[in-house]
Structure formats: C-alpha cells, structure tokens
Amino acid sequence: MNVVRRMITHWYTLGYPNADYPRYSRRLAQDNLDMVRRCCKFCLPFIVMMCAGRLIMLGCAWINVWPFIVAFMVVVVILVMNLRPLDPKHTLYRSYMQTAVFSVTLVALAAYYDFIVEPGTIAVMTCIALLGVGSLFDSRPADNLIAHTIGLGILIAVMVFERNRALVPNACDLVVAAILGLCISWHKSRGHFGQLFANDKELKALQHTARVQIMVSQINPHFVCNVLATIQAMCDTDVNKAKEALGIFSAYMRDNTNAVARTEPIPFSAELQHVKRYISLERMRFGDKLAVAYDIRTVDFRLPALTVQPIIENAIKYGIGSKPDGGTVTLSTRQMQDTVRIEVADNGVGMNGEALRRLAGDTSEAMGDAGKPEGDGRSHVGLANVRERLRLMSHGTLSVSSQPGKGTRIVISIPKEG
C-alpha cells in the first residue's frame, strides 16, 4: 500500500514534492498562454487551407464549411483576448480557459469528421488530436486526467448515440491515445517543472551574490564620502538644498536595502524612480559635466530590482566620469511587438575590444572573477549579475556594444507579459 501511495504522490507532484507549486503553476500557465498564441497564429492559415481543400474536393455543401467557420471564429477570439494586457492575478484563469477552449475546439473538429461526417471509420484524426493536445501544453496531472476523462466520456457517448459500427476499436484507440497523451504531458510538464526548479536554485545562489554586492555598494566609501562631502558643502551655501539632498540620499539607501529582500520583478516605474534618485546624487558631484536624457515611451512592464541603476552607474562612473569634458547618458524604453526594449547609451570613453568581448562573454566566468578589475580598470560582476537575474526572473536578454572614444550602448529586451 505504501508503494502505491508513493507512486501516486510522485505522479501527482511531478516528482518534486517540496517545490513551491502555486508559483510554479503560474509560470507554467504563462508558458501555456504563449503556446496558445503561437498555435492560434499557425492554425488560422491551416484552417483556411483545409476548408478550401474540402470545398474543392467535396463541393460547397454547408456541412463542409460550418465546422471550419466555428473553429476560425474561436481562434480569432482567443487572439483578440490576448491583445489585452494580462493582470498577473488572472494568469491561471486565462490560461485554463484558453487552453481548454483551444483543446476542445481541436478535438471537436477532428471528432466531427470522424464520427459525424464519416461514421464507422477509424478515428485517426481524433486520436492525433488527443496526442497533440497532450504534447502541446504543460499541466498539473490532476487537471489533465480530469480533462481527458471528460473528453473520452463525451466521445464514446457520441459514438454510442450515432451507433458507430467501429465503436469497440475506436473506443480502444481513443483510450490508448488518451493514455499516451497523458504520459507525454506528464513527462513534458515534469521536464519544464524541473527546469523552473533548477532555475530557482540558480537564482537563489545568484541573489546571494547580489545581496553581497548591494550591501557593499551601500557602504562604498568613495560614493558615500563624495555624497556626504557634497552635502556638507551645501550646508554652508544652501541649507534647503542640503536638506533635499539628504532626503534623496536616504531614499536611495532605503531602496537598496529593500532590494535585498525582493525575489520577484518590480514595476519599471519603481526602478525608474530609484535611477532618478541616483542620478540626482551624481549630478551634485559632476554638475554640468553630467547630462541625462530620458525617452520613456512605456512603463507598463516589470523587471528585476536594480537592473537599470547599475548600468547607469557604470555609464556615469566609467564612461562619463573618465571623460574630461563629461557627457550625456540617455535612458529610453520602447514597446516592440513581443518585447519591451530598454536602452542605456552614453557618449563617454567607451571600451576596447578585449574588455567588450569579456563583458559580452561567459557570465559564469564573470561571476567567478568577482572583484577582479578588467583591463580597463572595471569590475563587471554587477553587469553579469544583472544579465543572469534578467534571464532567470524575466526571460530577458542584455547586449553590449561599444567603441573607444565614442561611448557604450547597453540594450535590454524583456518579453511582454501575457
């Protein structure tokens, strides 16, 4: 009995009994929504071609047209629904609804021609549809079992009602197809679940490094001393401005402290506010040598805490700060078709080829060399940490381009939510 109980537990938990299921379920649901969108985009021209083929071969009978019209309308409705921004609270609901509607439409269209149009024949299309649904979507085992059981019951009831001559072989084929679909879905979901589990372990180790970096940056003697010395000088010339600077400095340090505990992406508006506080502090020191331009065209997205600020810090410290006449840092955001693009550019001293290749290369090597200065005197572990947190928390990417004497450009791409 204990063996059976362990087997059921292993099946139900996908072999990861100690994992955080609610959070993983939301991430699997998000991936399912992405799969539904891709499938719908593929199905639109496929449905049109199938409908045209049947009309050419079998004539313009209504029976050859209406199932494709219904399927086409369902696919269009799903695509239109996905144009709306997704509230994270509704991710599970929308994922369940859309995957269920798409799966039912796919199986129903196949069953219509197997059992209604061509009764008595082998249900090849329906078996393929059941296998396809199992291989497309990740799901919790219980949900998948319930869905396949209900679907099988309906299909067998239809065959009995239609007095299908191939009832017994078709029922056997459908049961086998459903079991194979369940096995495919279980192994696919388990593999995906395991990848998320491994990513979380990697992310926890990475966040430990990030926490150390954040705490070190908070007590960075150069930055803190420069800010405090500037505020001290203001006390003799402009007390009100000194008070304002102390408030900004306090808020900046508080943001850094709060970032230590954050394990989920934050709104870009919060990150932008932290960036502006940092820039305000640096402009007290650099004065007119530092110019900052903003071209913010979207803030409706989320990203890991302390993603943009370290990049701005590098641009000011190593790009603009190393240039006698100073320069300009530009921060821009764009809403692309499937991604959000964040760009930080400066017209500072730039980097040579060796430093750029190392910066754009292997992250694990950069993380392993934490604290070691590059050939240009920089320590790029902060940027390596940003890249890895982007990859693990937001599925984002970071790319760097630079030319000595002309400046550096860093581009972040984050897939849209929902």
Tens digits of per-residue pLDDT, 36-58?
A: 888 888 888 888 887 787 777 76
Domain ranges in the chain are 2-193, 266-415
- Residue given tokens 């499937």 in the structure block: 338
Does 413 have pLDDT greater than 90? yes
Does 215 have pLDDT greater than 60? no
Strands (E) in 288-375, as ranges, are: 290-296, 302-303, 327-335, 339-346
Highest mean pLDDT: which of 5-9, 49-53, 126-130, 327-331? 327-331
d(CA 94, CA 33): 8
Q: Given this model, what pLDDT does residue 19 score?
A: 62
**Mean pLDDT lowest for which of 6-20, 294-308, 310-324?**
6-20
CATH superfamily to which 266-415 belongs: Histidine kinase-like ATPase, C-terminal domain (3.30.565.10)
| pTM of the full structure | 0.52
Is the model more confident about 353 or about 66? 66
Does 294 have pLDDT greater than 90? yes
**R_g of the chain, CA atoms, integer Å:** 29
- Kindly tell me the burial class for residue 317, based on how many C-beta atoms sit within 10 Å of its own C-beta (0-12, 13-18, 19 or more): middle
Mean pLDDT confidence for 71-88: 81
Mean pLDDT confidence for 129-145: 75
DSSP code at position 405: T
Around Cβ 229, how many Cβ atoms within 10 Å? Answer: 12
Q: Which of 274, 340, 336 is nearest to 301 (CA)?
A: 340
